[in-house]
Chains A and B, each alone.
Chain A
Amino acid sequence: MSKTEQKDYTLGDHSQLFTVLAENLKSSFLTIARTAELASSGSDDVDGHLARVQAASSSALTMLDNYLLSLQLTQAGQRLALEPVSLAASLNDIAHQLNRTAEQRRCDLEVIVAGKYEPVMAHGAGLSAALLSLGHFFITAQSQQVHTKRPVITLAAHRTRAGIVAGLFAEVQGLHSATLRRSRKLYGRAHSPVAEMTVSGETGLFIADAILQNMSSGLRTARYQKLPGLAATFTSSQQMALV
Chain B
Amino acid sequence: MANILLVEPDTTLGSVYKQALERAGNTVHWRKTAASAVNALDQLSIDVLILEIQMAVHNGIELLYEIRSYTDWNAVRVVLHTDIRSSRIDDRARRDLGIEQVLYKSDTSLAQLCEAVTASKVI
Interface residues of A (CB under 8 A from B): 26-27, 30-31, 34-35, 37-38, 61-62, 65, 69, 125
Contacts and interface: CB of A to CB of B under 8 A. Distances in A.
A161 B83 CA distance: 41
Nearest to A27: B10
| Nearest 7 interchain pairs by C-beta | A34-B16, A31-B12, A37-B110, A61-B106, A38-B16, A65-B106, A35-B16
Contacts of A26: 83, 106
Contact of A34 (B13, B85, B87): B13
B118 interface: no
Interface of B: 10, 12-13, 16-17, 19-20, 83, 85, 87, 105-106, 109-111
Contacts of B110: 34, 37-38
Contacts of A30: 13, 105-106
B109 A37 contact: yes
Contacts of B111: 37
16 contacts: A26-B106, A27-B13, A27-B83, A30-B105, A31-B13, A34-B17, A34-B110, A35-B12, A35-B16, A37-B109, A37-B110, A37-B111, A38-B16, A38-B20, A38-B110, A62-B106
- The SS class assigned to the B binding surface is helix
Residue of A26, A34, A38, A62 with most chain B CB atoms under a 10 A cut-off: A34
Contacts of B17: 34
A30 B19 CA distance: 16
A61 B104 CA distance: 12
B54 to A, nearest CB: 10
A38 B83 contact: no
B82 to A, nearest CB: 12
Contact of B19 (A38, A61, A65): A38
Contact of A31 (B10, B19, B109): B10
A65 B83 CA distance: 10
Nearest to B110: A37
A38 to B, nearest CB: 5
